[in-house]
Amino acid sequence: MTVADKLADALERLSQGETRTRPVSMSLPGPLADALTQLSEAGVVPSTSAAATEALTQWAYNRLLRLSLEEIYEDSPDLRPSPERVRELAARLGVSVQGPPGAVA
């Protein structure tokens, strides 16, 4: 099973309503941890756990797209668009992009 398949399985379970939670210990940069705590205390986010879940879910779907594109390029390397074409399209669409297209963090 590929990393993409494992990620897809996890997201599928999540979208089907698996609500069982599990404590996870993680370290965040201090300013971010402070901001999350303050937002939670102000009621802007329901809880730091809810905010982390939302951010991680967004990140996971974005990674899944990246991995899916890499699956396509693995079969057909000639299909990978040039960074220039991607930057041009991003500019036309008025979208801000992070880092070089095709980069897998």
Note the residues at the interface with other proteins (CB under 8 A): 4-5, 8, 11-12, 15, 58, 61-62, 64-69, 72, 75-76, 79-81, 85-86, 89-90, 93, 95-99, 101-102
Helices (H), 1-105: 3-15, 30-41, 48-75, 83-93
Shortest reach from residue 25's CB to other proteins, in Å: 26
CB 57 within 8 A of CB 18: no
Q: How far is residue 56's CA from residue 52's CA, in Å, rounded to a whole number?
A: 6
Nearest residue (CB) to other proteins, 4 versus 35: 4
Q: Which is nearer to other proteins, 40 or 101 (CB)?
A: 101
